[in-house]
């Protein structure tokens, strides 16, 4: 909770915006002062009682008046956050050069306003605190030599494994055969599907996606094929399914291996006959849909266990694309980090930098959650970073622990010894709660691996609900 001694000044003409900011800041125990009087502003600045200022750039009669306020505030180490429309960007740019710490576009978003204020207050604290030699001599990571290119508008990476993926995407996009994308969670399977669609002759039609593991069998059938009024309790009107929504375009079936066996037969018939029948309907409807499916499981192993129909697998797997793990293309990690930092800068108009040590830790981490985990780690680091500089202290403990080498405790599962704590990680230096959290997450992943990716079997083995499993897995 912010200290009640923090006093924030709002200089803004729009009463609605003033009220929103006032309520937001007071709900967090800030003291708030609103003023549009030049003489009162001068008195407030002279008193040195302010901690930060939200300043509407459109209120002033000239840029000089804005610069005078920014200059006077700078002498008192009071950070100024400019409020402006995008049409006023030239004035904003001049204000930032004059010393304003950041700007926010109207209409304001609460999370952006609080983030800007937090950064401003941290900036003020840093200016009023004597830095240690270590803080003064932080070595910044050099920017990647390669430019960040979004291949097909979606994909980032220049590693040879990704270049091969791009080649395959271009080739298969020219055809109309079904595609099966393999890859662990977070590798970008849906982005591959979107790329194939974008490059295909169907690009002007709809791209529709569904995660097949997110709903039970009866709802999945209705979602894919639609239903007629009265087909089941709650079916109060006719509903078109996703096949019809994607007619002429592309339907992306994520986690296709999770579809129940009974439903697999219905899906197979639709793919073979190029027509669907809504739940409760009597007539078939012709459809023209390209199918792109994806899985993070070994579908051959599921076929051997009788959990996936062979005929459906071969219908889906006209062409397969395998995505590399992030740890298998480490040279792409700096490129991805550069992209995520630039993406954040566009939203907050603040420049984010990363230290050499932090980049080293990120480059050596094994990334079990792949690119999605990397993006989440960078978002977390941006929120914690002081003055836009990401240091090792801003990274999660599982990332900073990776570099140390020690023996680890082990537990037994299905006859094999499994490390209780991740390999190559230190078991010292953590609170008990943090240590147990890492152990729990690692163990859940090891048990999931032993069940060959079967989430339901893993949850049952662990004695937890699916909701608890997902929470533990993603923590």
265 Cβ contact list (under 8 Å, min separation 6): 309, 312
Residue 153: inside a domain: no
193 and 210 housed in the same domain? yes
Residue 221: inside a domain: yes
Per-residue pLDDT band at 211 (split at 50, 70, 90): very high
Count of other CB atoms within 10 angstroms of residue 264: 19
270 and 396 housed in the same domain? no
Q: What is the pLDDT of residues 368-409, one digit of tens each?
A: 899 999 999 999 998 888 888 899 999 988 888 765 433 333
175 and 318 housed in the same domain? yes
Angle between helix 89-98 and helix 63-75 axes, rounded to 10 deg: 30
Closest CA to 352 of 39, 48, 102: 102
Winning range, highest mean pLDDT, from 74-83, 309-318, 455-464: 309-318
Per-residue pLDDT band at 432 (split at 50, 70, 90): low
114 and 183 housed in the same domain? no
Torsion of CA 386, 387, 392, 394, to 10 degrees: 40
Q: What is the pLDDT of residues 139-155, one digit of tens each?
A: 677 667 667 889 999 89
Residue 426: inside a domain: yes
Residue 179: inside a domain: yes
Q: What is the pLDDT of residue 196?
A: 97
247 and 333 housed in the same domain? no
Closest CA to 398 of 446, 364, 353: 364
Please report, in angstroms and rounded to a whole number, the separation of the first and last CA atoms in the chain: 24
168 and 297 housed in the same domain? yes
Q: What is the pLDDT of residues 158-193, one digit of tens each?
A: 999 999 999 999 999 999 999 999 999 999 999 999
Residue 152: inside a domain: no
End-of-domain residue from the set 275, 305, 323 = 323
333 and 201 housed in the same domain? no
136 Cβ contact list (under 8 Å, min separation 6): none
User: Where in the sequence is the domain holding 38, given as residue range(s)?
Assistant: 7-129
45 and 62 housed in the same domain? yes
User: Which one has a higher pLDDT value, 342 or 64?
Assistant: 342
Residue 213: inside a domain: yes
User: Phi and psi at residue 355, in whole multiples of 5°?
Assistant: -75, 160
End-of-domain residue from the set 354, 370, 401 = 401
Question: Are β-strands 250-254 and 290-295 bridged in parallel, bridged antiparallel, or unpaired?
Answer: parallel
Per-residue pLDDT band at 422 (split at 50, 70, 90): low
Q: What is the pLDDT of residue 201?
A: 96
- 194 vs 321: CA distance, rounded Å: 13
CATH number at residue 220: 3.40.50.300
- 32 vs 50: CA distance, rounded Å: 10
CATH number at residue 414: 1.10.10
Alpha helix locations (H) across 28-147? 38-47, 63-75, 89-98, 110-127, 133-136
299 and 181 housed in the same domain? yes
To the nearest whole number, what is the mean pLDDT of the chain? 82
Q: What is the pLDDT of residues 95-120, one digit of tens each?
A: 777 788 888 878 787 877 888 888 88
CATH number at residue 58: 3.40.50.2300
Q: What is the pLDDT of residue 402?
A: 62
301 and 342 housed in the same domain? no
Q: What is the pLDDT of residue 411?
A: 44
Residue 287: inside a domain: yes
- 313 vs 318: CA distance, rounded Å: 9
387 Cβ contact list (under 8 Å, min separation 6): 119, 122, 123, 126
Per DSSP, 323 falls in state P
- 300 vs 453: CA distance, rounded Å: 13
CATH number at residue 356: 1.10.8.60
The residues that bridge with 54 in the sheet, in sequence order, are 10, 81
Count of other CB atoms within 10 angstroms of residue 462: 17
The residues that bridge with 211 in the sheet, in sequence order, are 254
Q: What is the pLDDT of residue 349?
A: 56
End-of-domain residue from the set 110, 129, 148 = 129
User: Which one has a higher pLDDT value, 404 or 241?
Assistant: 241
Q: What is the pLDDT of residue 377?
A: 92
Q: What is the pLDDT of residue 159?
A: 92
114 and 240 housed in the same domain? no
86 and 110 housed in the same domain? yes
Count of other CB atoms within 10 angstroms of residue 97: 10
Residue 449: inside a domain: yes
| DSSP-derived secondary structure for 110-144 | HHHHHHHHHHHHHHHHHHTSPPPHHHHTPPBPPPP
Number of domains into which the chain is organized:
4
User: Which one has a higher pLDDT value, 313 or 48?
Assistant: 313
Q: What is the pLDDT of residue 405?
A: 36
Give the 3-state secondary structure of residue 209. Answer: strand
317 Cβ contact list (under 8 Å, min separation 6): 178, 180, 299
């Amino acid at each position: 909770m912010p200290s009640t001694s923090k006093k924030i000044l709002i200089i803004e003409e729009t009463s609605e915006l003033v009220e929103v900011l006032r309520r937001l800041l007071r709900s967090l125990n800030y003291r708030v002062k609103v003023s549009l009087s030049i003489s009162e502003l001068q008195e407030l600045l002279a008193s040195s009682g302010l901690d930060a200022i939200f300043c509407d750039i459109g209120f002033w009669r000239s840029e000089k008046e804005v610069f005078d306020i920014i200059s006077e505030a700078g002498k008192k180490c009071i950070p100024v956050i400019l409020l402006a429309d995008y049409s006023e960007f030239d004035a904003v740019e001049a204000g930032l050069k004059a010393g304003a710490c950041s700007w926010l576009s109207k209409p304001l978003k609460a999370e952006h306003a609080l983030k800007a204020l937090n950064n401003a207050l941290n900036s003020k604290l840093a200016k009023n605190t004597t830095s240690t030699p270590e803080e003064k001599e932080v070595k910044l990571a050099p920017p990647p030599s390669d430019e960040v290119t979004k291949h097909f508008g979606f994909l980032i990476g220049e590693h040879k494994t990704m270049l091969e993926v791009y080649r395959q995407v271009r080739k298969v996009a020219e055809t109309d055969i079904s595609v099966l994308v393999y890859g662990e969670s977070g590798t970008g399977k849906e982005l591959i599907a979107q790329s194939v669609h974008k490059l295909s002759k169907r690009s002007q039609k709809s791209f529709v996606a569904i995660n097949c593991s997110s709903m039970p069998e009866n709802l999945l059938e209705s979602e894919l094929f639609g239903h007629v009024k009265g087909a089941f309790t709650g079916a109060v009107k006719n509903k078109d399914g996703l096949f019809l929504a994607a007619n002429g375009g592309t339907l992306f079936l994520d986690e296709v291996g999770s579809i129940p066996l009974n439903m697999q037969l219905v899906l197979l018939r639709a793919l073979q006959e190029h027509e669907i029948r809504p739940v409760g309907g009597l007539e078939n409807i012709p459809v023209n849909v390209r199918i792109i499916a994806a899985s993070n499981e070994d579908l051959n192993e599921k076929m051997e266990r009788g959990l996936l129909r062979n005929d459906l697998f071969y219908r889906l797997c006209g062409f397969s694309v395998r995505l590399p793990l992030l740890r298998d293309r480490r040279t792409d990690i700096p490129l991805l980090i550069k992209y995520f930092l630039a993406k954040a800068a566009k939203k907050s108009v603040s420049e984010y930098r990363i230290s050499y040590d932090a980049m080293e830790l990120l480059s050596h981490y094994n990334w079990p959650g792949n690119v999605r985990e990397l993006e989440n780690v960078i978002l977390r680091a941006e929120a914690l970073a002081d003055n836009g500089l990401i240091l090792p202290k801003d990274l999660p403990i599982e990332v900073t622990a990776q570099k140390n080498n020690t023996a680890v405790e082990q537990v037994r599962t299905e006859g094999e010894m499994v490390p209780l704590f991740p390999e190559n990680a230190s078991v010292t230096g953590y609170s008990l709660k943090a240590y147990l959290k890492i152990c729990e997450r690692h163990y859940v992943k090891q048990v999931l691996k032993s069940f060959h990716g079967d989430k339901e079997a893993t949850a049952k083995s662990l004695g937890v609900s699916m909701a608890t499993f997902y929470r533990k897995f993603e923590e």
